[in-house]
Amino acid sequence: MQKIVIIANGAAYGSESLFNSLRLAIALREQEADLELKLFLMSDAVTAGLRGQKPAEGYNIQQMLEILTAQNVPVLLCKTCTDGRGITSLPLIDGVAIGTLPELAQWTLAADKVLTF
């Protein structure tokens, strides 16, 4: 079984970097169901894990994350990044959790591929 970690840094609705990482994650799951896929959000991407997003138009990051978590894709938000943005204690999307750099290090060492956005 192939193991892929995706690390995303871009703001939820600033650039399309995070959006593209989630598009790829969903496409990977569609193409290969027998894939161990993990997603770690850092920097401004951590705001994507907050519940209650209501974008006026276009894509919806919350819905994309819900698709992935429903497929048992682990989604972690960097604790240092959430602390720095004051969002650690805010409600998160179901299936999204706070993670740490040592967890990302373990994921990276175990992965066959690491993709960064």
What is the average pLDDT across 7-36?
93
pLDDT of residue 51: 94
Q: Is the pLDDT of residue 107 over 80?
A: yes
pLDDT band at 22 (very low <50, low <70, confident <90, very high): very high
Q: Which fold has domain 2-116?
A: Hypothetical Protein Ychn; Chain: A, (3.40.1260)
Map out the domains of the chain as residue ranges: 2-116
Number of residues that this document lists for the chain: 117
pLDDT at residue 35 greater than cutoff 80:
yes
Q: Write out the H or E segment, with its range, that includes residue 108.
A: helix 101-110
C-alpha radius of gyration, the chain, whole number:
13
| Closest residue by Cα to residue 22 from 69, 55, 57 | 69
Q: What is the mean pLDDT of residues 90-113?
A: 97
